[in-house]
Amino acid sequence: MRSTDRSAPRVRLIRHAQASWGSADYDCLSPLGETQARHLGAWLTGESADYVQVVRGSLRRHAQTLDLIAAEFAAAGRELPVARIDPDWNEFDHVPVLRAYAAAHPHDANVAAARAGDSLALRGLLMAALQGWREGRFDDVAGETWPAFGARVAAARARIAAPGGAVLIVTSGGAIWRCAQAALDLDDQGLADAKLSFLRNTSISEFEHCGERWRMLSWDTVPHFDAHGHEKLHSHY
């Protein structure tokens, strides 16, 4: 996806580096995640973009990812603006949604396989659970409805008003999906039908800030891995 307006401010949404899925404390980068964030930071320092705003969610995995990116900028003699922390860029709480789906579908093969560590089964389980949440079937346990989640991400997006230059935002996959949905003007079924790829850790999704609307330019790119053939650095969880 490309735009002909090269003067429009760019917003780069970064999905956080790999957290510690399956551990007692998920909200902490894994050793692989730390490596991913350093590679991303080093790649970003080689770009000509000068960021006028840096924003992150309030989760620890957001902070740790951005800290490692900023360290690479400092090592290269460059400085990022002080980050503004905005909790509206946080992920929804996936744990009660997954638990509610598993309780409602105990015979789904993906449930047992995901518990055993099968990443493909986990992806299938997550997508099925998200569909149930979008349909309102888990509102009594999720703590946040799908429309409420969309509304807070829209509020976070509105606070990036007239940036006047490039913006870097470290956030989570769900928030980035909601930005894509708004940019592409998709309803919930349209979002499902679009079959956007499942976001990789530290992937870049780029948007143009066009007044009240954002225009999507790229989705789930990892040039900081691809440029050096770092296949082992790819992860989704």
pLDDT higher than threshold 50 for residue 210:
yes
- The pLDDT tens digits of the residues spanning 193-209 come to 888 888 999 999 999 99
- The pLDDT tens digits of the residues spanning 145-191 come to 999 999 999 999 999 977 788 999 999 999 999 999 999 999 998 98
Report all structural domains of the chain as residue ranges with CATH numbers, in order of start: 10-92+144-233 (3.40.50.1240)
Longest dimension (CA), the chain: 55
Q: Where are the alpha helices (DSSP H) in the chain?
A: 31-45, 60-75, 94-104, 109-115, 119-134, 139-142, 146-158, 173-183, 188-194, 223-226
Mean predicted confidence (pLDDT) in 127-138: 91
CB of 90 within 8 A of CB of 16? no
What pLDDT does 8 receive? 64
Half-sphere exposure of 63 (CA within 13 A, CB side): 8
pLDDT higher than threshold 50 for residue 5:
no
pLDDT higher than threshold 90 for residue 32:
yes
Higher pLDDT, 120 or 46: 46
What pLDDT does 85 receive? 98
Half-sphere exposure of 114 (CA within 13 A, CB side): 22
Confidence of residue 231 (pLDDT cuts 50, 70, 90): confident
Min mean pLDDT across 4-13, 54-63, 210-219 is at 4-13
- The pLDDT tens digits of the residues spanning 89-120 come to 999 998 899 889 999 998 888 888 887 777 78
State the amino acid at position 27 in one-letter form: D
What pLDDT does 142 receive? 82
Alpha carbon 50 to its chain centroid, in Å, reads 21
Tokens 């980068």 appear where?
29
What pLDDT does 3 receive? 40
